[in-house]
Amino acid sequence: MESKPVEKRVLLAKPRGYCAGVDRAVVTVEKALEVYGDPVYVRKQIVHNKHVVETLESKGAVFVEENEEVPEGSVVVFSAHGVAPEVHDQAEERSLKAIDATCPLVTKVHQEARRFAKEDYDIVLIGHEGHEEVIGTSGEAPEHIQLVDGPDEVENIEVRDESKVVWLSQTTLSVDETMETVDRLKKRLPLLQSPPSDDICYATQNRQQVVKDIAADCELVIVVGSQNSSNSLRLVEVALQHGADSSYLVDYASEIEEAWLEGVTTVGVTSGASVPDNLVREVLDFLDERGYGTVEEFEPVVEKQTFQLPRELKLDMAAANVK
Ligand code: SF4
């Protein structure tokens, strides 16, 4: 008797893709273009996704690294990752009209940093060295903040008073690795205080949780996202740590290698918080053409979070009658 062919399938993670902070940042640039006309300058990548940046460029956004590249008096949007206070000062000095698209959940971490610095705490910031969000948060209180980039750096911490130390974190870290760093910190500093609420944001936590749930059933997990996207990179790590045989990060379906699919029955698919869903659809089409036509969406958590656009933009939208 002939054996039945094994059915190839896709386990599609949900929540995936755009979070409320990314959606707000992208819409901010789109609305700024409508209200002020092009060019609208954007300091740094508005969100860490190649496709999003290229699409906004085609609509008239000009991406720069620093305020000094923006002509005096122009409109500049600050990215979702947040900026240090000195960046606002520089914008004022150059008479720029600044629209701040910093995600409100990053702003919350900035506020915590300011508050604890005011109370003269030493602050241990867990995050990735050089990441824009970490640079922005550190800039709120540089003399109080020390960066710890993973559990192995805990030994380098030096504090003035062990009873007055708090840890904060970047919003897009691996939940598990961060808790490992915190455990190591607590062994060294038993009186270490925790942030008043989770700094790793809801979107990062939810996307990691779904990948944890599906990884063991998948031989391969494809994460759609860019190489400079912290939360997307973490999804690849989480997939590998939780049972997937292999996992890759791709910007586009065209980057998927045929060899990755050899002997694979179940492919997990997800995307980072800065990825529009049409890129995931293209991956599903690619897989469909190769026999993975059955798609099972797995949605253990329903996200309802939304954020208002920046106030300064909303006022100008109302004045210009832009909806
Ligand atoms: S990943 Fe989290 S912190 Fe970052 S923009 Fe999205 S909601 Fe905000």
Please give the number of the atom of ligand 1 that sits closest to the Cα of 80: 5
Tell me whether residue 234 is in a domain: yes
Residues 272 and 208 in one domain: yes
Tell me whether residue 195 is in a domain: no
Tell me whether residue 196 is in a domain: no
Residue 6 is predicted with a pLDDT of 76
Tell me whether residue 280 is in a domain: yes
Tell me whether residue 194 is in a domain: no
- The single residue of 68, 133, 158, 219 carrying the catalytic annotation is 133
Q: How many angstroms does the Cα of residue 19 sit away from the middle of ligand 1?
A: 6
Residues 137 and 157 in one domain: yes
CA 4 to chain centre: 43
CATH of the domain at 39: 3.40.50.11270
Q: Is the pLDDT of residue 221 over 90?
A: yes
Question: In angstroms, rounded to a whole number, what is the distance separating the alpha carbons of residues 300 and 213?
Answer: 9
Tell me whether residue 259 is in a domain: yes
CA angle 307, 25, 247 (to 5 degrees): 100
Question: In Å, how far are 25, 183, 278 from 79, measured between CA atoms?
Answer: 7, 32, 22
* Residue range(s) defining the domain that contains residue 129: 105-188
pLDDT in tens, 56-91: 999 999 999 999 999 999 999 999 999 999 999 999
Residues 172 and 235 in one domain: no
Residue 16, token pair as written in the block: 């995936």
Q: Model's pTM, two decimal places?
A: 0.94
Tell me whether residue 70 is in a domain: yes
Q: How many angstroms does the Cα of residue 307 sit away from the middle of ligand 1?
A: 11
Is the Cβ atom of 200 under 6 angstroms away from ligand 1? no
Q: Is the pLDDT of residue 99 over 70?
A: yes
Number of folded domains in the chain? 3
Q: How many angstroms does the Cα of residue 37 sit away from the middle of ligand 1?
A: 27
What are the helix and strand counts (H, E) for the chain? 10, 12
Q: Which residues contact 156 (CB under 8 A, 6 or more apart)?
A: 148
Q: How confident is the model at residue 41 (pLDDT cuts 50, 70, 90)?
A: very high
Q: Does the annotation place 231 within a ligand binding site?
A: yes
Q: Is the pLDDT of residue 7 over 80?
A: yes
Q: How confident is the model at residue 5 (pLDDT cuts 50, 70, 90)?
A: low
Read off the DSSP letter of residue 315.
Answer: H
